[in-house]
Amino acid sequence: MNLKFSSHTLLTFATVITLIQSAIVAPISQLNPIISPAVAAAKPAKPNSNMIPQKPQQGSNVERAKQAMFRDGNYVKAKQYLEAALKTEPNDPLTYAMNTLYPFSAGDYEKVREYGEKTSKAAANLMKTNPLRGNLYQGVGLGILGAYELKKANGGALGALNKLQKVFEYMDKAQKLDPKNPELNLVKGYMDLLLAVNVPFSDTTQAVEQLKNAEPRYLALRGMYVGYRDLKEYDKANTAINAAIKLAPQNPELTYYKAQLLGIRGREQRNDNDLRESIKLFEVAYQKSDRLLLTSIAQILSERCQAKTALNRTTADVCWGFEAQLKQSNPRVVVGLNKLPALN
């Protein structure tokens, strides 16, 4: 099996539980489920009461980080909470899994390896008291280590593939304990989606079904948007991203995704109204760049540029290289950038 991952997909794989850079770029060939507005807003089924995992307590630093990152799209605040969680919640595997995002974005892959190992160790310690989360996050830890294998020494694909197989073994064990658990369905749904767009003959239907039973809803809907976007099922993608924005209106990444959809549709259909609205929404998202990752800011700038050139019927050759420019202006910084280009 030959896996070809883009940089964004690698980031998704490395932080499978954070799920932040999940803008998967490879197209999907088939996806059948139709998502209606009612389905998009529906809450997932309740898990078996005897198998409910011990989630981070309300008010914990991990819980604050989840809300800052996933609901608000604020990676600066999330980083602060996660650094505190290393001291206050060292036994929660999610502490290390979410912290992985920042060293991975910075290219500090030895730190990624360290967090992957700590994720696996913390998860293993849960096996007696909470086997569902123990299996789930042992899989996540191996996923992080698999991404490390892919990045080290110009790519250790064989080691990564071996770990990927074990990831799903752990996921399957967790699923047997409670197939309707929303935390499990969120992680496994994104993992299935990741494979669906990179591996031929993968079951994309299963990925969407997993996400229908996942929480938080705005994060599950975001994953559905990615799938429908790559399918070119733009009406369904629009329904999913609109429902996500309604649940998390302050998140600039969701605004970016809405702008992205309009930009794609506008370019393909030569719809100038879509392109104009896309540009406006990219600029709305850009206004909150102070809370976003450098890579996300670069994507906003690039895709806004593409929408503008499509509207003006000019070449998009000038729309690349924003990430390198941002790194040059903000050396060794991956979030909370101080020097940002003015929009023209």
Q: Let me know: does 336 contact 76? Beta carbons within 8 Å.
A: yes
Torsion angle of alpha carbons 119, 125, 129, 132, nearest 10°?
A: 40
pLDDT at position 10? 46
Residue linked to tokens 């914990």: 60
- The answer, as to whether pTM is greater than 0.85, is no
pLDDT at position 148? 85
Compute the distance between CA of residue 294 and CA of residue 244 in angstroms, rounded to an integer. Answer: 23
* H-only helix segments in the chain: 7-14, 37-41, 61-66, 75-88, 93-99, 101-106, 109-124, 131-151, 157-177, 182-196, 204-212, 217-231, 234-247, 252-269, 272-286, 294-312, 322-329
Distances (CA, A) of 8 to 118, 185, 257: 23, 22, 15
Q: Let me know: does 142 contact 163? Beta carbons within 8 Å.
A: yes
pLDDT tens digit sequence for 92-150: 999 999 999 999 889 899 999 999 999 999 999 999 999 999 999 999 999 888 888 87
Which residues lie across from 293 on neighbouring strands? 335
pLDDT tens digit sequence for 36-88: 333 333 444 444 433 334 455 556 999 999 999 999 999 999 999 999 999 99
Residue 290 CB neighbour total at 10 angstroms:
15
Compute the distance between CA of residue 4 and CA of residue 157 in angstroms, rounded to an integer. Answer: 10
Closest among 340, 259, 335 to 78, alpha carbons compared: 335
Q: Let me know: does 107 contact 120? Beta carbons within 8 Å.
A: no
Sorted by where each starts, the structural domains of the chain and their CATH numbers stand as 1-23+56-207 (1.25.40), 251-344 (no CATH)
